[in-house]
A and B are shown apart, each in its own frame.
Chain A
Amino acid sequence: MSDFLTQFAPALPEVFVLAMVSLILLIDAALADGKRYVTYALSLATVAGAAVLTAQDFSIMPVLALGGLFIDDPLSDALKLFLYLAVAVVMVYSRDYLRQRGLYKGEFFVLALFALLGMMVMVSASHFLTLYLGLELLSLSLYAMVALQRDSSVATEAAMKYFVLGALASGMLLYGMSMIYGVTGSLALADIAQILADGTDLRIPLVFGIVFVVAGLAFKLGAVPFHMWVPDVYHGAPTAMTLFIGSAPKIAAFAFVVRILGQGLESQVGEWRDMLVILAVLSMAVGNIAAIAQSNLKRMFAYSTISHMGFMLLGILAGSQAGYGSAMFYVVVYALMSLGGFGMILLLSRAGFEADQLDDFKGLNRRSPWLAFLMLLLMFSMAGIPPTVGFYAKLSVLQAVVGIGYVWLAVAAVLFSLIGAFYYLRIVKLMYFDTPHDTTPIIPCPDSRIIMSANGLAVLALGILPQPLMAVCLYAVGASF
């Protein structure tokens, strides 16, 4: 009996989150609408508790558990801590917005926590089955979250699209996994890596499998040409859900890609690198160019996400520890900026009004110089202009790419980021150069305001002193591979 329990010890944070989310589900059912803050507080407490559990048990060495299904290593622990942070920030930003739209229900928090659990499982998976299980738990929670605003036809449409395309992607992924299983006879990543490193005669099924797996991953990341769902979902979903989708799941997706390609298919880097090169270049091109044409900020950020995922792939395709480390740095930084960007839309929105048009940012410097300054930092960071942290994210992935001799790819990447700079600059222009056409005072609730200030200033502070975060990312990757 005790043997059975100790097996679960490395998965304690997951067990805790699952227990708490079940508890919250029960408690919330009994709560009156006016007492929803109990759910809110309990959800934040759950995230905080999980963070304590993870930090307490931060592993120096990889520990396999549950018969090789689950791995607890520095990479998973570090990523989980970032996930908790992102989810907690999402909850704080979203509260007012949800309340004003009648969405301030237990479902949002329960779904967010289930999604968090899914992501934690993905991050800690060492087996195709657990990877898939985590992914589906995350995806199903997200589909439901997007559809939470039942009376909005746009949101329902977005949820439908997300679901259908997401299911298709899952199918492709499963198909690819089954091919790889056929070649290697195993679903555990470590075994697969071992068998493939020894060499196999079944090249064609293997390459077939890799193609399907990469396509499935590209779907989940939203990389071109598998990006069609991203703008529609980002645009159609209520902004609080877009905020969620745009932040933490990207970190989980990074883990997903690195676990499969970097750990399981490590020896096949020659096969998948060229695929990622194509995905990365197309993503950076389409994402940055299409973003220019958008007048809706959420849509613009959606295309910007696509291009950022392209950049992140640059780090992964380097196929080295330095490369994965830089991609991890990139994705964490991206999540931070994305939280700030969507968070700003939430802060400026109010009952019956969505501040999601570019014009809604006109003259923000006159209405609220502080918020405008924070948004300025976030935009320059997304554009990769120093002294903001976005620059170091770009620097580190470019360095990884040049390190493997792909100088042309680095040149292409910077040229696309030049195009990208245009639409970020445009937001700064709207905020600083134009006069406001809406002079309603902006009254964000104090907690959102404080978190937003911390979020914006973090972009600057990490830009001046990027070393700690960089060191954490490189350590996590280095100690786990």
Chain B
Amino acid sequence: MFGQATLSLVIWVPILAGIAVLATGSDRNAALARWVALAGAVAGLIVAIPLWTGFDTGTSAMQFVEKSAWIPTFNIHYHLGIDGISMPLILLNSFITVLVVIAGWQVIQDKVAQYMAAFLIMSGLINGVFAALDGILFYVFFEGMLIPLYLIVGVWGGPNRVYAAFKFFLYTLLGSLLMLVSMIYLYFQSGGSFDIQIWHATPLGMTAQLLMFFAFLLAFGVKVPMWPVHTWLPDAHVEAPTGGSVVLAAITLKVGAYGFLRFILPILPDASREYAWVVIALSLIAVAYIGLVALVQADMKKLIAYSSIAHMGFVTLGFFLFNPLGVEGGLVQMISHGFVSAALFLCIGVMYDRLHSRQIKDYGGLVNKMPVFAAFFMLFAMANAGLPGTSGFVGEFMVILSAAGVNFWYAFVAATTLILGAAYTLWMYKRVVFGNVTNPHVEEMTDVNARETLVLGALAVLVLAMGLYPKPFTDVMHVSVVDLLAHVAQSKLP
């Protein structure tokens, strides 16, 4: 019935649900707000499922395309469509939104409706980012999602939340604004169009490509985040509520990486090839140096935040190796990291709700009181360290393999993550879960309840499924990736 408007539904169902949640009003109706939010999130996931079932893996063309005039004055269209790169990300986002709503069920007691609404609206906007095929439409979603995220961090965050919210907002805005100027420039170069697919075919001189390359790199690099513009992420993570951290790590970071594939590589292929070394160098620094930084963190959320930066380094590294294995490895890593980081932040949330501390030193001996939780946490920690059989392994392995074919030293530095990742994750795990109970409050902790088991269990299944049989995921993206790389190989110099 909605065959023609699937993508619109994926975008607008969560947003309208968010408005409905807002309409439930004050905290007197908190229970109602929660159920409306859950219904909205589930509805958002359900309308996204046809994207998977109806997806044609044999073509690299855009699917589920919708196009209508939006601002004819500037030739801006409401133009949506997905390919194998964006489709998995939309499903990931819709899925994570459900988890976030459930995870905030009891924890959030203050301004419940606004909290749930912010997440739902943001979910719709992020789907819009992945589905937009018009530059300005993309920009509207890309920037629009900052508003709910700013409020989530600032209103429900920790003690230093104001600083974190401002830092996060202004950092990302800086990048976006330069991207906006680049987009306007592209509009004139392409003869008056904001269509991303037309930009893909627009010839551009090297100087213009170079300048735009760095503008886009800043815009997306801040979101990824890449070293050295990553400093907002640990602050935002630490101060954000659990749900905020989950969405930040699992989804918003992917928005940046997605931008590389949708904008930088196909629009600026010559500059991308010429300056691939910049991105590769920054990525390797992220993998190795940030891995070391993660090792010394005393705060669990900060540790996972740094670990996220290191893992995203893998993603950008894979993209700029310019072969299908690397790009697909990066994409798999994105999805996997979406599951694993979400799960780890949820695990930290579970502990924080009971002890109100994120410091590693306050824990110890958790396995005695929370055996089921310890088992879940173990699985996700292993996945984060890249243990074979979990989703974390697949992407990393593909990228390292691909890197080895390009340059031994790339592969060598990248592979240090297998050691560093294991070191910081498992060392944290050991200190938190094993050993003797030293903190008397740990004695009072109870194991995961049904709600938490459901959330963590769902993620555990996905992490294992993707680790054991990743083919469905790579099948979906393969044709699009090959086509993208063929496009990147062609020079656009006039």
A385-B144, A467-B71 given as contacts; is B139 within 8 A of A425 (CB)?
no
Of B55-63, B159-167, B388-396, the stretch lying at the interface with chain A is B159-167
Task: Check B170 against A433 for contact (C-beta < 8 Å).
Answer: no
Task: Check B166 against A429 for contact (C-beta < 8 Å).
Answer: yes
Contacts of B70 in A (CB 8 A): 467
B143 at the interface (CB under 8 A from A): yes
B185 at the interface (CB under 8 A from A): yes
Task: Check B161 against A425 for contact (C-beta < 8 Å).
Answer: no
From A380, A387, A467, A470, contact of B140 by CB (8 A): A387
From A376, A387, A391, A414, contact of B178 by CB (8 A): A414
A386-B139, A467-B72 given as contacts; is B180 within 8 A of A425 (CB)?
no
Tell me the bound Cα distance from A281 to B173 in angstroms: 20
Task: Check B185 against A429 for contact (C-beta < 8 Å).
Answer: no
Task: Check B73 against A467 for contact (C-beta < 8 Å).
Answer: yes
Q: Which of B160-203 contact A (CB under 8 A)?
A: 161-162, 165-166, 169-170, 173-174, 177-178, 180-181, 184-185, 187-188
Task: Check A415 against B140 for contact (C-beta < 8 Å).
Answer: no
Task: Check A421 against B169 for contact (C-beta < 8 Å).
Answer: yes
Task: Check B73 against A470 for contact (C-beta < 8 Å).
Answer: yes
Task: Check A380 against B147 for contact (C-beta < 8 Å).
Answer: yes
Of A68-76, A107-115, A304-312, A398-406, the stretch lying at the interface with chain B is A398-406
Give min CB distance, A426 to chain B, whole Å: 8
B114, B150, B177, B187 — most chain A CB neighbours (10 Å):
B177
Tell me the bound Cα distance from A198 to B236 in angstroms: 62
A407 at the interface (CB under 8 A from B): yes
Nearest residue (CB) in A for B71 is: A467
Task: Check A428 against B150 for contact (C-beta < 8 Å).
Answer: yes
Tell me the bound Cα distance from A414 to B180 in angstroms: 9
Give min CB distance, B49 to chain A, whole Å: 27
Size band of the A side of the interface? 20 to 34
Give min CB distance, B124 to chain A, whole Å: 11
Give min CB distance, A252 to chain B, whole Å: 24
Contacts of B187 in A (CB 8 A): 399, 402
Chain A 365-405 interface mask (CB, 8 Å, partner B; 1/0): 10001000000100010000111000110011011001100
A31 at the interface (CB under 8 A from B): no
A38 at the interface (CB under 8 A from B): no
From A402, A421, A429, A467, contact of B173 by CB (8 A): A421
Task: Check B73 against A474 for contact (C-beta < 8 Å).
Answer: yes
From A403, A415, A470, contact of B177 by CB (8 A): A415
A385-B146, A415-B177, A433-B155 given as contacts; is B184 within 8 A of A471 (CB)?
no
Contacts of B162 in A (CB 8 A): 429, 433
B154 at the interface (CB under 8 A from A): yes
Task: Check B177 against A418 for contact (C-beta < 8 Å).
Answer: yes
A386, A399, A466 — most chain B CB neighbours (10 Å):
A386
Contacts of A291 in B (CB 8 A): none
Task: Check B140 against A422 for contact (C-beta < 8 Å).
Answer: no
Nearest residue (CB) in B for A422 is: B170
Contacts of B147 in A (CB 8 A): 376, 380, 385
Chain A 408-440 interface mask (CB, 8 Å, partner B; 1/0): 001100110110011001001100110000000
Tell me the bound Cα distance from A428 to B72 in angstroms: 33
Contacts of B136 in A (CB 8 A): 395
Footprint of B on A, CB under 8 Å? 365, 369, 376, 380, 385-387, 391-392, 395-396, 398-399, 402-403, 407, 410-411, 414-415, 417-418, 421-422, 425, 428-429, 432-433, 466-467, 470-471, 474
| 22 contacting pairs across A/B (C-beta < 8 A) | A369-B114, A386-B140, A386-B144, A387-B144, A392-B71, A395-B74, A398-B184, A402-B184, A402-B185, A414-B177, A414-B180, A418-B174, A421-B170, A425-B166, A425-B170, A428-B150, A429-B154, A429-B166, A433-B154, A466-B71, A467-B71, A474-B73
* Besides A418-B173, A474-B73, 14 new A-B residue pairs in contact (Cβ under 8 A), listed by A number: A365-B111, A369-B26, A376-B147, A385-B146, A395-B136, A410-B181, A418-B170, A418-B177, A425-B166, A425-B169, A429-B165, A433-B155, A433-B165, A471-B73
Closest 10 CB pairs of A and B: A414-B177, A386-B140, A433-B154, A402-B184, A470-B73, A410-B181, A467-B71, A386-B143, A387-B144, A399-B184
